[in-house]
Structures are given as structure tokens and as C-alpha cells.
Amino acid sequence: MIRLRRLLDLCVGSVCAVLLAALVVVLCWQVISRYALNAPSTLTEETLRFGVIWLSLLGAAYATGRGTHMTIDLARNLATGRTRQLLEILVPVGFILFALAVLVIGGMRGVEIASRQVSPVLRIPMGWVYASLPVSGVLMILYSLLNLIDLLRGTRGRPDSFEKALSAVE
């Protein structure tokens, strides 16, 4: 389990880091071409839009794996004992249900519909853009299953406030 989680973290984190670096380069080129060269690039805006879609969905899957996603802690903090444990288990189960229904099943339907279209500037199939939904959904399900197994085994705790704050900066 630990190896699988590390492999997922390495792959998803690396893709997010490379994608972010590429988006920064494209954004810099957009600013330079528009203001310094006075000849705006037509490719940059669409590239940035599609890159941000992929980056945000992959980042959401990564945050799910780290347990640093946004949660409402009030009910969990007020609960004790068995009720608290049940609420802890409810989070990854909720992620699994949401990811399966909305991201994977709904995302595949979106890919199917969008695959008949191409983007106006880059001329790539829009199905590639919509593929970010089922890909991130599968990753969220994998991470949530790992989180659920760790919770049931008692081998992984929730991130503390420092870890949540640190992940918000990363």
C-alpha cells in the first residue's frame, strides 16, 4: 500500500509540477508576445485554459491522496468515539461515490460528446480536454481507497493544521 501511494504521489505530483512549469513558460510567452513584441500569440490563451483544467483536476486528486482537501471539520470535531470514526470513514466513501458518479461516469459521457469537436485554435480533439474528468476521478478513487484502508487499519491519521497550511502553499 505504501509503495502504491508513493508511486501515485510521485507520478501525479510530477505531472502537476511539470504542467505548472509549462504553464508559467506559456504565460510568460503570452505576456512577452503581447506587450514587448506587440504581436499576441493565438495559441497561448487556449493552451493556458486547457492546462489549468488539467492541473486543477489532477491537483484535486493529489490533495485527496494527501488528505488536505477542503473539509468541514465541525461535525468531526464535536463527535467522539464510534461516531467520530464513522464520520472519518464517510469522507473517503463520499469521495469514491462522487468520483465514480460525476467524474468517471459523467466525465466519460463528456468525453464521448466532446470527442466530436475540435478546439478552435489548437485544433485538438476536445475529448482530450474532457479526459481530465475521468482521469482525475480514477485517481481520486484510488487515493480514497488507500485512505479508507489506512483509516480502517489505523495506520494513517488526518493531516494537522500545519500540513494543511503547508500543502496550500505548495
Q: What is the dihedral of CA 154, 3, 6, 143, to 10 degrees?
A: -60
pLDDT in tens, 17-50: 999 999 999 999 999 998 999 888 889 999 999 9
pLDDT in tens, 55-87: 999 999 999 998 887 766 667 777 788 888 888
Confidence grade of residue 108 (pLDDT, cut at 50, 70, 90): very high
59-to-56, 70, 108, 168 alpha-carbon distances in Å: 5, 12, 19, 11
